[in-house]
């Protein structure tokens, strides 16, 4: 399917040359001799790209561009300015306004065709990517929704066994299973309702005691800590104010940090979970004495499906998603994430979230 290009130019000779050149290449064309006509045409049908003359009487190119970007149906159409001006300030103005490119008159046809082809390809690839992401998100939401049913059965079955009585040792394992299943359900619920970064916070649930969350995460990971003969130490700042964030998101983020520390820490070492205040933010840190991350691989931290050369120390699986999930969760709370690698070795993975005003 050929792409459609709208040419906007008040000079008939320029229009004729462009029409001849582009029609020979197989593009479908729309033609407008002024800004008002261009806006009227795009209200009826949207082209894939616009070639827009800067200097036109009445509604000039910049005003036409501004109106195109103000409409939801045309704001994402790439626009290439055509200008006889060689002044750098005008070129900067075009890019600052949001144009994807510019062509200087008199137009060199081979150059124009190359630029047009490039930006049409970028638009097509972006559209395909958006479709793939939408399909992936839909699938993941369906999967997340359907996983809640078996989790509910696990929770109910565990509760029935506890009611019938169990030895202290079995009861302890049942409690761990119950807590883990509840956390899995919270994760799924968070995924199904997760906010995008920048979404407004609302409601009294956005008040979290970071120390309580740290203690809960430590308790949840006790079996894994014992299995690898590790020691987990809490260093929590007293009288810490409340965090302006949802407890479920903070719990999941900190749990991912601790889980990673356990996976990559050699047996017999110590992991430290620390909380403190950092100006107008609260900071949670997970210190470990593991091998850290190689310097040349650190740029991949917090990216999806990032895998590193350092292997887990107990044969644990690693999907490469944990850190990217932390980043998404914390940024949805207006927070930031990071990692430090001290010269003496080990890693410090941290995140910061805002303080509830007045606390």
Span 140-164, pLDDT tens digits: 666 666 666 677 667 777 777 777 7
List the one residue out of 200, 203, 189 whose CA is nearest residue 249: 189
189/214 same-domain check: no
Please tell me the distance from the alpha carbon of residue 294 to that of residue 30, in angstroms, as a whole number: 54
34/85 same-domain check: yes
Residue whose structure tokens are 């409601």 = 203
So what's the pLDDT on residue 196?
45
222/343 same-domain check: yes
Dihedral sign, CA of 88, 91, 97, 100?
Answer: negative
Residue 166 forms part of a structural domain: yes
189/215 same-domain check: no
So what's the pLDDT on residue 320?
66
Q: What CATH number does the domain containing 315 carry?
A: 3.30.565.10
285/234 same-domain check: yes
81 with 8: CB under 8 angstroms? no
326 with 256: CB under 8 angstroms? yes
Residue 128 forms part of a structural domain: no
pTM: 0.52
177/261 same-domain check: no
Could you give the angle at which helices 35-44 and 61-70 cross, rounded to 10 degrees?
A: 20
3-state SS, residue 87: coil
What DSSP state is assigned to residue 65? H
Please tell me the distance from the alpha carbon of residue 147 to that of residue 63, in angstroms, as a whole number: 51
Q: What CATH number does the domain containing 56 carry?
A: 3.40.50.2300
So what's the pLDDT on residue 321?
75
So what's the pLDDT on residue 126?
87
219/337 same-domain check: yes
What is the domain range of residue 167?
134-193
333/255 same-domain check: yes
Please tell me the distance from the alpha carbon of residue 107 to that of residue 326, in angstroms, as a whole number: 50
List the one residue out of 79, 41, 35 whose CA is nearest residue 57: 35
159/268 same-domain check: no
Residue 124 forms part of a structural domain: no
**pLDDT, tens digit (0-9, with 9 covering 90-100), for 51-79:** 999 888 888 889 999 999 999 999 999 99
The segments of the chain whose pLDDT lies below 70 read 1, 85-87, 139-149, 152-153, 183, 186-205, 305-306, 314-320
Residue 176 forms part of a structural domain: yes
So what's the pLDDT on residue 78?
94
141/87 same-domain check: no
216/176 same-domain check: no
Q: How many domains does the chain have?
A: 3
| Residues pairing with 283 in the sheet | 276, 352
The CA-atom distances, in angstroms, between 137 and each of 132, 134, 140, 266 are: 9, 5, 5, 36
So what's the pLDDT on residue 66?
92
List the one residue out of 259, 251, 255 whose CA is nearest residue 312: 259
Burial class (CB in 10 A: 0-12, 13-18, 19+), 246: buried
156/54 same-domain check: no
């Amino acid at each position: 399917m050929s792409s459609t290009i709208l040419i906007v130019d008040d000079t008939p000779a320029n229009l004729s040359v462009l029409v001849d050149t582009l029609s020979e290449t197989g593009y479908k064309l729309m033609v407008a001799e002024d800004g008002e006509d261009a806006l009227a045409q795009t209200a009826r049908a949207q082209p894939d790209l616009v070639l827009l003359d800067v200097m036109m009487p009445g509604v000039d190119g910049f005003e036409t561009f501004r109106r195109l970007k103000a409409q939801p149906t045309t704001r994402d159409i790439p626009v290439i300015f055509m200008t006889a001006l060689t002044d750098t300030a005008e070129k900067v103005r075009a890019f600052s306004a949001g144009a994807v490119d510019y062509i200087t008159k008199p137009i060199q046809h081979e150059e124009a065709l190359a630029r047009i082809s490039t930006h049409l390809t970028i638009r097509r690839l972006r559209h395909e990517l958006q479709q793939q992401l939408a399909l992936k998100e839909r699938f993941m939401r369906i999967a997340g929704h359907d996983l809640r049913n078996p989790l509910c059965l696990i929770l109910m079955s565990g509760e029935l066994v506890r009611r019938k009585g169990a030895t202290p040792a079995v009861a302890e394992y049942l409690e761990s299973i119950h807590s883990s299943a509840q956390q899995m359900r919270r994760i799924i619920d968070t995924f199904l309702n997760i906010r995008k970064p920048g979404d407004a916070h609302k409601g009294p649930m956005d008040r979290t005691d970071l120390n309580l969350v740290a203690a809960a995460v430590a308790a949840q990971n006790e079996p894994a800590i014992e299995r690898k003969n590790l020691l987990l130490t809490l260093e929590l700042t007293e009288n810490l104010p409340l965090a302006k964030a949802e407890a479920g998101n903070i719990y999941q983020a900190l749990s991912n940090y601790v889980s990673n520390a356990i996976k990559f820490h050699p047996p017999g070492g110590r992991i430290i979970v620390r909380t403190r205040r950092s100006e107008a933010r609260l900071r949670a840190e997970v210190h470990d004495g593991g091998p850290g991350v190689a310097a040349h691989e650190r740029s991949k931290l917090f990216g999806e499906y990032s895998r590193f050369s350092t292997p887990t120390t107990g044969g644990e699986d690693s999907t490469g998603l944990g850190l990217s999930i932390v980043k998404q969760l914390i940024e949805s709370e207006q927070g930031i994430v990071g990692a430090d690698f001290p010269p003496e070795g080990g890693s410090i993975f941290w995140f910061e979230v805002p303080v509830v005003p007045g606390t």
